[in-house]
Amino acid sequence: MLSDEVRQMLIQTAQAARKWAYAPYSGYAVGAALLTTSGRVYDGVNVENAAYPTGTCAERVAVFKAISEGEREFEAIAVVTVNGGSPCGSCRQVLAEFGLETSVIVADEEGRIVLETDVAGLLPGAFRPTDLKV
């Protein structure tokens, strides 16, 4: 269970990152903050592209930053949008790769929590690495 301090720190980090979102097409800025079990925090923003499908989400940017620096285990992720929009299916799958117990906090731009769950709650029946071992 996350402490209130950690929860607030992650929301504030995601809120602060949000200003760097590159969202000229949707105008829907997203910030994310990922806490690893080693205690580091990686932020991320959505990065859109004129060739729409090549853009990516804030959650995946945060996860990929962490992975590219050797992290593999995550404690929690906070996601902040204008209205508390929920992570998309692709991000849910990417999070599920690294653990179903990762806490997920979704907040609006005022920092109000609109959803608090874990990855298992976001993506029931996720396809997992163990499913490949037949």
Catalytic residues: 59
CB 41 within 8 A of CB 10: yes
- Residue nearer to Zn ion on the CB measure, 11 or 57: 57
Q: Which stretch binds Zn ion (CB under 5 A): 18-26, 37-45, 80-88, 99-107?
A: 80-88
> Using the rule CB under 5 A, is 88 a contact of Zn ion?
yes
Q: Which is nearer to Zn ion, 82 or 88 (CB)?
A: 88
- The residues, any chain, with a CB within 8 Å of residue 115's CB and separated by 6 or more, are 84, 86, 104, 105, 106
CB-nearer residue toward Zn ion: 57 or 123: 57
Task: Report residue 66: phi and psi, to 5°.
Answer: -65, -45
Q: How far is the CB of 30 from Zn ion (least distance, A)?
A: 8
Q: Which stretch binds Zn ion (CB under 5 A): 16-24, 72-80, 89-97, 114-122?
A: 89-97
Site for Zn ion in 37-76 (CB under 5 A): 57
**Phi-psi group of 70: left, alpha or beta (phi > 0 → left; psi -120 to 50 → alpha; rest → beta):** left
- Copy the structure tokens of residue 93: 């799958």
Out of 29, 34, 91, 106, which residue is the one contacting Zn ion (CB under 5 A)?
91
CB-nearer residue toward Zn ion: 57 or 119:
57
Do residues 70 and 80 lie in contact, with contact meaning Cβ atoms separated by under 8 Å? Answer: no
- For 26, 38, 50, 58, the CA distances from 34, given in Å and listed in that order, are 23, 11, 27, 10
Q: What is the contact surface with Zn ion in residues (CB under 5 A)?
A: 57, 88, 91
